[in-house]
Structure 1
């Protein structure tokens, strides 16, 4: 029986090639979108699951109250891990301290490269369950040791055994390779860690850490923990909550630090904190694209339903004969389901080809590295189940509708479909275009928000600015490098600073001023710069003056941004005194707010002071009078002259700034990609319906032409019904689109407003697309020979 169902289904597919092609093509596109999104969601949901202890690993975070708000941060004092081990050791299997992921120069022989890595306590190998290719879990127990990722080991040593070989760090410290671990996969928070060094070496290279008067007074490291069996993150977070608070002096207790564990399972998808509460993160994108995938697939299913029911009259006699000779309705339903499932299976095979074609583009805009798991049987089982389910969903309405025909009426030729018989199809068309128009609105709003943030005033000149990371050897020669580059015309100016132009690497408390609430804990970005900083970046002085070598007192001076003046409620700030760690600093200038961190958030109250230590981050203003290529070659040559052992590494500030929009740009590009596919599916269905309507009205069109109707009149007649449906879809989509996009924009402190033209453009675009889709069939029918139309009908 089942074989017979599929044999008849195959014959029906062949006998209605155009309709079948539209159905299969539409379903294939919808399935391809669903497969792409499913593979991407799988990558997101399996983030960090590479580690065997995934469910028991956490980072130690802390909530602190400063500037009147609660801020959540991963940075901790360097004594955090040791203290938790000493006070709560039985509750944890491992607690380890780590540096940030820093770029260091690794040199072996004539090979020198900048690589990213961390300093860790030695238990990290077991805690992260690293897969050691060479060496073992003791690899970081000696101070002067290093373990390398497999790819880095290959870069330096090729096929040689690297164990015991020497690598020089920053051209200063020799370390021995004691292990090689398998590269950490891309869907992992630690994917950039290409080497690991012992924590003891970090302390040795930074002796100031052990000499700190207050080891709890500075947050500059990370702490990782693996909880013991039969414990949980929530209970342990409550237990260690005050581990830092009890170590602080009365002034520092104003920050009210509350320590907690942030599980590895939430690092990637739940990384956003607002006022001390975890309020989502990338999980929002997962839900967004899951919903888009469902709707795009639903559009394809709607196409199938529409075309199947539209051609109901052609199947009516078949249904009547089958019922007359004894077929039960359940058998007819099975027959129609078998057709939809067969079409769905064909569509699934075609969708795999479409995924192969679209995957490189999708990976690029999604910043992913997704592949089709050809050898994974689970993928094919899910794919088969998914195809059958799609076929059943797409076929449920046609199966129930077609199987309900009265055999007596059908065989007499008196089947009356009724004035409302086309209503379900119209509802489905309206639904299709409402979804498509909503996607168009969403895509435009996303891009408008990106442009709004990109056009936000920066407060400095980012064009032609580059940042160069180097070491103290370059710092020793900064005057010579600067003079050389200015003299040869490569640059306008050059400076050093503690933080780059596109981020904050240092903040400070212990700051007070006249009128400050004594109970207010504060934490300000406090960038240490040199005299040429303002001239290099082109900041805008609003009051007072810039730092100058003509004033020896500038070593105890501050320049504030406008937000700091507002936050401190300073009237006539120039000459006022700010105390930092009880040292008096004079305000000599106020600069326009500079956009350094998130382009979607308010500019933070910030301070600038002259540096009295070595700063190894250089910012350089290239000379616009010569080519960038020529300038960069001269800059590289100057650094190589005075620092030949270190590879030259430079970033353009405007490119670093552009990366801040990466997530929103990906959302916009993916939304645009899926919107185009959704419109394509909708148009495919519309094309099929227009073809059917034109075919049904062939005789009417012939008679109208004989009576003098023009082509334009006939085109209007055939198009107006579809235009009406799309207009209704616009009325539905506009409030829905506004509601969802307005809620999305509220996530940003600095955001655009939704303009009326967005809705107008979306609706007009949908109407134009509809006219183009329908016009081909309408004009074709209008141009047909009326004599032949009437005769053949």
Structure 2
């Protein structure tokens, strides 16, 4: 019986190639979009699955309150380690202190490469359960040891055995390779940890870290833990919540709250607002999941519409089959088998589309997704997916077609009914409601990105590069290098700073000034800079003056940004003094000599943070900032700069970043989401138009005789076009009225996540409505004009 169903279904589909092509094409596109989105969602949800102890690993986070505003992050003080080990050891299987991800120059036999990694305590490889390829898992037990990722080991040693070999780090000290571990996959935390070195080694080589052993106010470190099997994250958090406040009175005023942030939430739920978890990338998982469902639904609607629209053509078939004894359930099975064949064929085409598009999608989304050929769960899910889609898209047509009465059909008195087309109209409205909502959402996302991009950033990022200076080789050479670079004519100005131009690496509090409000808890972004900093970046001095080498007193001078002046409530700030409460009296107070325009150093969607720029008299720079000569090409300038660099630092790799590229990277996530949304929106509209094209074709065919009569009576092409187009335009207009309030509500809520955001304007919705109507007119016009231009003589002979 089933074989017979399939045979009849195949004949029906083959005899109606245009109808079949539209159905298969629409479903294939819808399924391809859903498959790609499904693979993307699976990749997002599987983040950190590489770590077998994912459910038990957490990072220690801290919330602090400044003037009623609570900020949350992973920065913790070093004394917290001892407090947790001494008082709460029973809760932890492993407790690991760590540096931030950091760059180091690794040198072997004259070959030097720059890599990022972490200085971590001995338990880290065991806690993370790294897959050791060579050497031993306990590879950090010695002070001068290093563990390398497989790719770094290959880059440094090639085919040579790495274990036991000695590397030089930053031309400063030697370490011995004790292990090589498998590269951590891309969609995992620590994937960019290309080396692990001993935490004790970093302490031994960094004086400030030694001094931080008892400094509860120095939140410059990270801590990762693995809890024991007999406890939970919530239970441990409750136990350690107030440990810092209870042990240190100096920081108690900020109400520090210590808690565990589980590894399973790091990637998808990493946002905090006023001390509470407030989501994160999980919103994009939901967003694309909803888009995938709706795009597939649009494709299914096409199938329903076209199948029911062709009902009158198949009415006689149903009548004959019923009259010779076919039961309704047999007819339903027949039509569902047709649906299954279409869906199965569409799924095969969808897989081909996915395979063709996957590399491009990976480049666009910054993923490394591969097609899961050997994943049994995927194929089982695909089977369920095919059956579900076949049932959704075929159920209504099957129930509708099988309900025809054979007597009426065979007598020729069958009429589809006055309201037979109502379900199709509802489905068309639903299709275009989704499409218009997608259009509005995509426009708003792109406008929000442009709104942030057009925001004044407070400096000139064009033609500005930064060179990292992490090696000891750079110490004491700033003035020499500035002179050398300026003499080449490739650089017109240069400065040095303790933080990159596009980030804040240090925040400080504990200052006093004239007029400071009682109980005020300040939090200032701190950057050490050389005197040429503002000039090299093109910052604007709005009050007072810039740093100057001509004034020896400027070694104790500072610049504030506009936000800091307002935040601190200082009137006429130039000439006022700041006293560091943490200073033991050995340093004079800091004198405010100028105010600079606000500079965006964090997210362009956030308010500018209150910042202080301090004369760097201790050589704390981590970056050279070079303003390139605009009268020469960037490549020519870079080549000259590299030559000078290699002349003075022959053993170090030449590295640099264009600041405009670094700033542009801040928009990368939103731009990817916007671009992907735009592509999916375009596909949704295309799928809707395919269905509309098929419906128009059917309506034109159904009204062939009417069109012929109208033309004989003098109707013009425009009259016929208007007659066939107006009904569909009405449906699209109804869709717009439904879509606009829905899109407004959803997108207005989305914009509230950004403190600096655009305002929703009427033209966005008008543009979406106009676009939807134009797409409808273009889609309908092809068949409408074709029908209007047909020979009326042939039209009148059709029946």
TM above 0.5: yes
CA contact (8 A) 1:164 1:178 kept: yes
CA contact (8 A) 2:77 2:218 kept: yes
1:344 paired to 2:343? yes
2:659 to 653, 656, 659: 653
Corresponding residue of 2:758 = 752
CA contact (8 A) 2:172 2:472 kept: no
Corresponding residue of 2:298 = 299
How does 1:668-747 map onto structure 2 within 5 Å?
Answer: 668-747=674-753
Corresponding residue of 1:202 = 202
CA contact (8 A) 1:67 1:523 kept: no
1-side partners of 2:211 and 2:697: how far apart?
A: 83
How does 1:84-95 map onto structure 2 within 5 Å?
Answer: 84-95=84-95
Corresponding residue of 1:636 = 642
Q: Could you say what the CA RMSD is over the residues aligned between the two structures, in angstroms? A: 1.2
2-side partners of 1:485 and 1:459: how far apart?
A: 25
Q: In the TM superposition, what is the alpha-carbon distance from 1:216 to its structure 2 partner?
A: 1.6
2-side partners of 1:709 and 1:109: how far apart?
A: 89
CA contact (8 A) 1:477 1:642 kept: no
Larger deviation, residues 425-434 vs 565-574: 565-574
Alpha-carbon spacing, 1:213–1:140, altered in 2? closer, same or farther (3 Å): closer
- Which whole-Å deviations, capped at 9, do the CAs of 1:564-615 have from their partners, x for residues lacking one? 1111111111112221235522211111111111101111111111112221
Alpha-carbon spacing, 1:521–1:621, altered in 2? closer, same or farther (3 Å): same
Alpha-carbon spacing, 1:30–1:189, altered in 2? closer, same or farther (3 Å): same
Q: In the TM superposition, what is the alpha-carbon distance from 1:784 to its structure 2 partner?
A: 1.1
CA contact (8 A) 2:507 2:524 kept: yes
SS in 2 for 1:682: helix
CA contact (8 A) 1:490 1:635 kept: yes
Corresponding residue of 1:554 = 554
Corresponding residue of 2:607 = 602
Q: In the TM superposition, what is the alpha-carbon distance from 1:67 to its structure 2 partner?
A: 4.2
1-side partners of 2:145 and 2:237: how far apart?
A: 34
CA contact (8 A) 2:204 2:210 kept: no
SS in 1 for 2:797: helix
Alpha-carbon spacing, 1:210–1:110, altered in 2? closer, same or farther (3 Å): closer
Corresponding residue of 2:466 = 467
2-side partners of 1:86 and 1:646: how far apart?
A: 43
CA contact (8 A) 1:77 1:218 kept: yes
CA contact (8 A) 1:209 1:215 kept: no
- Which whole-Å deviations, capped at 9, do the CAs of 1:381-431 have from their partners, x for residues lacking one? 111110111010001111111111111111111112222111110111111
Corresponding residue of 1:377 = 376
SS in 2 for 1:476: coil
Q: In the TM superposition, what is the alpha-carbon distance from 1:213 to its structure 2 partner?
A: 7.7
SS in 2 for 1:460: coil
CA contact (8 A) 2:76 2:218 kept: yes
For structure 2, the 5+ residue unaligned runs are: none
2-side partners of 1:748 and 1:131: how far apart?
A: 40
SS in 1 for 2:122: coil
1-side partners of 2:431 and 2:648: how far apart?
A: 65
2-side partners of 1:512 and 1:238: how far apart?
A: 35
1:47 paired to 2:53? no
2-side partners of 1:439 and 1:412: how far apart?
A: 47
- Which whole-Å deviations, capped at 9, do the CAs of 1:71-108 have from their partners, x for residues lacking one? 10101122333331221111110001000111111111
Corresponding residue of 2:516 = 516
Q: In the TM superposition, what is the alpha-carbon distance from 1:356 to its structure 2 partner?
A: 1.0
How does 1:404-483 map onto structure 2 within 5 Å?
Answer: 404-470=403-469, 471-483=471-483
Q: In the TM superposition, what is the alpha-carbon distance from 1:49 to its structure 2 partner?
A: 1.1
Q: In the TM superposition, what is the alpha-carbon distance from 1:13 to its structure 2 partner?
A: 1.1
Report the TM-score when normalising by structure 2: 0.98
For structure 1, the 5+ residue unaligned runs are: none
2-side partners of 1:259 and 1:685: how far apart?
A: 56
Alpha-carbon spacing, 1:664–1:213, altered in 2? closer, same or farther (3 Å): closer
1:364 paired to 2:370? no
CA contact (8 A) 2:126 2:138 kept: no
- Which whole-Å deviations, capped at 9, do the CAs of 1:522-581 have from their partners, x for residues lacking one? 221011111111111111111111111222222222211111111111111111222123
Corresponding residue of 1:177 = 177
Larger deviation, residues 305-314 vs 508-517: 508-517
CA contact (8 A) 1:80 1:97 kept: no
CA contact (8 A) 1:135 1:163 kept: yes
Q: In the TM superposition, what is the alpha-carbon distance from 1:210 to its structure 2 partner?
A: 2.0
CA contact (8 A) 1:66 1:523 kept: yes
1:265 paired to 2:264? yes
Corresponding residue of 1:70 = 70
Corresponding residue of 1:781 = 787
Corresponding residue of 1:31 = 31
CA contact (8 A) 1:546 1:589 kept: yes
CA contact (8 A) 2:212 2:218 kept: no
How does 1:91-102 map onto structure 2 within 5 Å?
Answer: 91-102=91-102
How many pairs were matched up?
Answer: 792
1:191 paired to 2:191? yes
SS in 1 for 2:589: strand
- Which whole-Å deviations, capped at 9, do the CAs of 1:116-175 have from their partners, x for residues lacking one? 100111111110010000112221111111111111111112222211111111111111
